[in-house]
Amino acid sequence: MSEFFFCSNLNSIDKNSWNNCIGNDHPFLQHEFLNALEKSGSATIKTGWKPHHYIEKDKQEIIAICPLYIKNHSFGEYIFDHAWADAYHKYGLNYYPKLQSAIPFTPVTGDRIIINKKVKNKNEKETEIMRNIISEAKRINVSSLHFNFIKNPNIWKNNNEIMIRSGVQFHWHNNNYKNFEDFLQTLSSRKRKLIKKERQCIKDNNLNVRLLSGDLIKEEHLNFFYDCYLDTTGRKWGSTYLTKNFFKELLKNFKDKILLIVAFHEDTMVASAINFISKSHLYGRLWGSKYEIPFLHFELCYYQAIEYAISNNIKIVEAGAQGEHKLQRGYAPVKTWSSHWIKDKEFSKAIRNFLDNEGQIINNQKEELEKLTPYKLS
């Protein structure tokens, strides 16, 4: 007979037991990544991300996991519900705290309810876990429950209380290209020339790019990357979410899952981008530069990622949230999904109507964006 509980400290859970349930393919669900967020002070009660992970065991073996956080704000999620919070406030109700299943500060699609491969009747187990988590949401008196960047929205449609929301990101797909030039040949002539011109600018500035992973990543590379991260996030948002200790933890325990792309001028580092590696995906996450160099962002974040994916037979490159400029670089629009449970019945009805309208807008937007991709018409 299995038993479940909610965990507020991932460090108290055995790493191997957690990862045996998760599997090896999704880096952001690994114990090392999520625990680094907590240990480093990046995702804690002080930062508005109080861990409340669902864990189910059968005879001491973890058979199901759902990363969960009790939140008192909506930052670092990349699926925006600030308008919902404002509406609650207008009617004198509290939207926060809410219960959130997500990878903090990471807009990447993946499983949110993870079930051990040994479990039979997976669909039944998922339904049971959903009931357990909704019961917990009611018990701790949160306004709502959210699952961001879910992989398969269809498994949620059997529950009438759950609402599905869609969005759009831009991903690059590897159609078994032999090399970067092979990929370029699938683009229109004008877009092909644009990319070649942008890449030539990097050479003209006497920059060389190095791809570092595993033991090739040294502390000085990480320190430089973090300085770039501080500069970039400070300019864009005025504050940073991730602490330096978070990246130090990753370098200590997770370096084989990291691809650090660094641009050098002679032996001086000028810019850096961090990616995470799985068998099928390369996930571009953060970047920064100490100098304003034309097209360097595109080189480090898009073109180098594509080259790496081709060389390593990786099927998809995800380059983070938003950014229609990615279209011209071969990244195509794809749907993203989230699911939502709202405790208040009247607000639930209003939000459902909003999502129905928003969903149609997203469908139309995706159709229009698909017309703007740089690929040759077949």
Full pLDDT tens readout for the chain, 378 residues: 899 999 999 999 999 999 999 998 899 999 999 999 999 999 999 999 999 999 999 999 999 999 999 999 999 999 999 999 999 999 999 999 999 999 999 999 999 999 999 999 998 999 999 999 999 999 999 999 999 999 988 877 778 899 999 999 999 999 999 999 999 999 999 999 999 999 999 999 999 999 999 999 999 999 999 999 998 876 665 567 899 999 999 999 999 999 999 999 999 999 999 999 999 999 999 999 999 999 999 999 999 999 999 999 999 999 988 888 999 999 999 999 999 999 999 999 999 999 999 999 999 999 999 999 999 876
Where residue 280 sits, what CATH number does that domain have?
3.40.630.30
Residue ranges in the chain assigned as alpha helix (H): 15-22, 31-39, 82-90, 122-139, 180-184, 189-204, 219-237, 244-253, 296-298, 304-311, 345-370
Note whether 222 and 200 are same-domain residues.
yes
Note whether 228 and 294 are same-domain residues.
yes
Note whether 46 and 150 are same-domain residues.
yes
Note whether 163 and 184 are same-domain residues.
no
Give the model's pLDDT for residue 236: 61
HEC secondary structure over 168-208: EEEEEECCCCCCHHHHHCCECHHHHHHHHHHHHHHHHCCEE
- 325, part of any domain: no
* Structural domains of the chain, count: 2
Note whether 154 and 181 are same-domain residues.
no
Structure tokens at 130: 């959903």
- 285, part of any domain: yes
- 152, part of any domain: yes
Nearest in space to 21 (alpha carbons), one of 53, 59, 61, 54: 61
Note whether 41 and 92 are same-domain residues.
yes
Nearest-10 Cα torsion for 329, 333, 339, 342 = 90
**310: domain range?**
175-314
- 181, part of any domain: yes
Nearest in space to 81 (alpha carbons), one of 60, 103, 62, 98: 98
Note whether 17 and 103 are same-domain residues.
yes
- Return the ∠ at Cα 144 (arms to 360 and 64), rounded to 5°: 100
Q: Are 273 and 261 in contact (CB under 8 A)?
A: yes
Give the model's pLDDT for residue 53: 98
Note whether 78 and 203 are same-domain residues.
no
Note whether 21 and 164 are same-domain residues.
yes
Q: Are 97 and 52 in contact (CB under 8 A)?
A: no
Strand 114-115: give its sheet, edge to edge.
3-7, 53-58, 61-66, 114-115
Residues in the chain: 378
Backbone angle region of 198, left / alpha / beta, with phi > 0 → left and psi within -120 to 50 → alpha: alpha
Note whether 191 and 131 are same-domain residues.
no
Note whether 260 and 349 are same-domain residues.
no
- 298, part of any domain: yes
Secondary structure (3-state) at 43: coil
Other beta carbons within 10 Å of 236: 8
- 232, part of any domain: yes
- 378, part of any domain: no
- 324, part of any domain: no
Global confidence as pTM: 0.95
Give the model's pLDDT for residue 237: 59
Secondary structure (3-state) at 281: strand
Secondary structure (3-state) at 270: strand
Note whether 155 and 49 are same-domain residues.
yes
